[in-house]
Amino acid sequence: MTTPLLPREHYLNVRYGIKSWLLTKDHKRIALLYLITVTGFFFLGGAFAVLIRLELATPAGDLLSSDTYNKMFTMHGVIMVFFFLIPSIPAILGNFLVPMMIGARDLAFPRINLLSWYIYILGGTFTLWAVIVGGVDTGWTFYTPYSTAASNTNVVATGLGVFITGFSSILTGLNFIVTIHRMRAPGLTWFRLPLFIWAHYATSLIQVLGTPVIAITVLLVALERTFHIGIFDPALGGDPVLFQHLFWFYSHPAVYIMILPAMGVVSEVVACFSRKNVFGYSFVAFSSLAIAVFGFLVWAHHMFVAGISVYAAMVFSFLSFAVAIPSAVKVFNWTATLYRGAIWWQAPLLFVFGFIGLFTIGGLTGLFLASLGLDVHVHDTYFVVAHFHYIMVGGAIMGYMAGLHFWWPKMFGRMYPEPWAKFAALVVFVGFNLTFLPQFILGYMGMPRRYHAYPEEFQVLNVMSSAGATILGVGYLIPMIYFIWSLRYGRAAGPNPWGATGLEWTTQSPPLTENFPVTPVVTEGAYEYSKREMRVV
């Protein structure tokens, strides 16, 4: 077999200079702009997590004052949710891959795509400014009346940051929906689309329909805080529970903005590394849409102890259980795809195995929390913290890592070092479980979230958690190092190092600015692995 060489001309070397990046309309370059900035926010959010876990290594509140600690978990949450998790897969991998997977030259609106990155930067700047001038301590949920009447931290600046960034998310989602509808290559019917595209379509629906609601809600919080207009303030006749309804109307579906794209990645990777068609393709495709739709109908399960009526609580509890059905459809179908497949043990698949296991635990504990009786017991404890970290870190970030490894050769034309990547997958998996499994037990035993001190009997489990967080941090630093290393020293990948199906693998790596020399014509489904010969690199 001949060693592949890098192509002579591609989107990275077609133009040089800072202007060619900051004014680019190429979706691939914009994806890289997002990659750099989102990674920056990831490590900043991670730094706050380090301080949280350091404080919790001992029962006494000795490292950080309770006020500082409140700011740490707030800024960890705000940055990780709004500036890392929500843009991570859609704005980086989605931006890069959606046009390539459907055989288009670019997204429908390239200028709006660039605008969305600048809006993200502006929102990020506001939030960073709020962090620098003293931070914010309301929790990422900005609950009223604390955020409007009591907190004396930078709620308005942070809220504006979230408000602005929301529009970047809206524009990305809008661009994807329109692109998927109107820009598909000849022959690429809806049921020939890769499941990554279906997942991004569902995600975009949530971004477009949900994000405006959080925008207006945060705006009302800012107005309430500045002018005391009474909308959310019970002292003035307002209703703080209305805030919670409006907040969770977006922020629960936002969880699916994080997890659905990761599910899209999993479908691609599972099919490729088991060399099989995805089992039950149309069920997996429609389950993405079902999750998006059900996701809008479950928000009040965050409010079971907020004084909502018991009948409303029962309905929301039932609907929350209903979300488990499409989620389980995905997990079972991935498993069935792997079953008797020709498994190829590569790093993307290892991350995906991590995803499937951890997401299943996160999802099942979500069912515990959706049960009315049990939720009252574990509400606002570490059980909840562990649950949503299994979804967001164990699920979304595992999927993000899998996708980054899978498409890295396509993005930069070079391979990452496989043994190191396998090692990193293992470190992340071990570190993650050591961090968050003890938190389930802590929560079940009654340790509340958001306190900087705790009774001594909780120390052993907390030390385990902090030790795990250290390992997890190392697990994220290793890929950072070898990815950068691979940009220069990685082996040239060639167009299709994995022998994968999918239009993005039919063109050179890194691709041309217009992606394909000639618009491809599609004649078969997305996962015709059975028709291909197995190829081992």
Q: How far is the CB of 223 from another protein (least distance, A)?
A: 7
* CB half-sphere exposure, 518, CA atoms < 13 A: 3
Residue closest to 306 by CA, chosen among 379, 202, 357:
379
Return the residue of 152, 227, 419, 536 that touches another protein, per CB under 8 A.
Answer: 227
Q: How far is the CB of 515 from another protein (least distance, A)?
A: 10
C-alpha 442/C-alpha 459 separation (Å) is 10
Return the residue of 121, 149, 229, 445 that touches another protein, per CB under 8 A.
Answer: 229
Is 231 or 398 the residue whose CB approaches another protein more closely?
231
Identity of the amino acid at 17: G
Report if residue 108 touches another protein, rule: CB under 8 A. Answer: yes
Q: How far is the CB of 503 from another protein (least distance, A)?
A: 13
Residue closest to 394 by CA, chosen among 372, 366, 369:
366
C-alpha 123/C-alpha 162 separation (Å) is 6
| Per-residue x/- track, 64-103, another protein (CB under 8 A) | -----------------------------------x----
Q: How far is the CB of 108 from another protein (least distance, A)?
A: 5
Identity of the amino acid at 430: V
Q: How far is the CB of 504 from another protein (least distance, A)?
A: 16
Q: Which stretch binds another protein (CB under 8 A): 84-92, 209-217, 376-384, 412-420?
A: 209-217
Length of the chain (residues): 537
Backbone φ and ψ for 448, nearest 5 degrees, come out as -75, 155
Q: Hey, which residues between 189 and 208 contact another protein (CB under 8 A)?
A: 189-190, 208
Q: How far is the CB of 211 from another protein (least distance, A)?
A: 7
Report if residue 217 touches another protein, rule: CB under 8 A. Answer: yes
Is 237 or 419 the residue whose CB approaches another protein more closely?
237
E strand or H helix at 530: none
Q: Hey, which residues between 479 and 518 contact another protein (CB under 8 A)?
A: 514, 518
Label residues 484-522 b or e (16+ Cβ within 10 Å = b). eebeeebbebbbbbbbbbbbbbebbbbbbbbbbeeebeb
Is 283 or 296 the residue whose CB approaches another protein more closely?
296
Answer whether 202's CB lies under 8 Å from 180's CB.
no
Report if residue 31 touches another protein, rule: CB under 8 A. Answer: no
Report if residue 110 touches another protein, rule: CB under 8 A. Answer: yes
Q: What are residue 310's DSSP bridge partners?
A: none
Q: Hey, which residues between 394 and 423 contact another protein (CB under 8 A)?
A: none
Q: Which stretch binds another protein (CB under 8 A): 73-81, 211-219, 371-379, 496-504?
A: 211-219
Q: How far is the CB of 113 from another protein (least distance, A)?
A: 11
Is 91 or 442 the residue whose CB approaches another protein more closely?
91
Is 185 or 372 the residue whose CB approaches another protein more closely?
185
* CB half-sphere exposure, 355, CA atoms < 13 A: 32
Is 178 or 463 the residue whose CB approaches another protein more closely?
178
Q: How far is the CB of 87 from another protein (least distance, A)?
A: 17
Q: How far is the CB of 296 from another protein (least distance, A)?
A: 11
Q: Hey, which residues between 173 and 192 contact another protein (CB under 8 A)?
A: 174-175, 177-178, 181-190
Return the residue of 55, 106, 137, 375 that touches another protein, per CB under 8 A.
Answer: 106
Q: Which residue has the tokens 């979706």?
A: 27
Q: Which residues contact 304 (CB under 8 A, 6 or more apart)?
A: 313, 316, 317, 372, 375, 376, 379
Return the residue of 21, 43, 109, 318 that touches another protein, per CB under 8 A.
Answer: 109
Report if residue 105 touches another protein, rule: CB under 8 A. Answer: yes
Peptide bond into 240 cis (omega under 30): no
Which three-class secondary structure state does DSSP give residue 512?
strand
C-alpha 323/C-alpha 287 separation (Å) is 10
Residue closest to 399 by CA, chosen among 92, 169, 184:
92
Which three-class secondary structure state does DSSP give residue 515?
strand
Identity of the amino acid at 392: M
Answer whether 142's CB lies under 8 Å from 211's CB.
no
Report if residue 213 touches another protein, rule: CB under 8 A. Answer: yes
Return the residue of 63, 146, 239, 367 that touches another protein, per CB under 8 A.
Answer: 239
C-alpha 28/C-alpha 513 separation (Å) is 8
Is 189 or 309 the residue whose CB approaches another protein more closely?
189
DSSP label of 504? G
Answer whether 509's CB lies under 8 Å from 409's CB.
yes
Q: Hey, which residues between 246 and 305 contact another protein (CB under 8 A)?
A: 246
Distance of CA 327 to the CA centre of its chain: 16
Q: How far is the CB of 70 from another protein (least distance, A)?
A: 27
Number of residues that bind another protein (CB under 8 A): 49
Residues that bind another protein (CB under 8 A): 99, 104-110, 170, 174-175, 177-178, 181-190, 208-213, 215-217, 220, 223, 227-231, 236-239, 242, 245-246, 514, 518-519
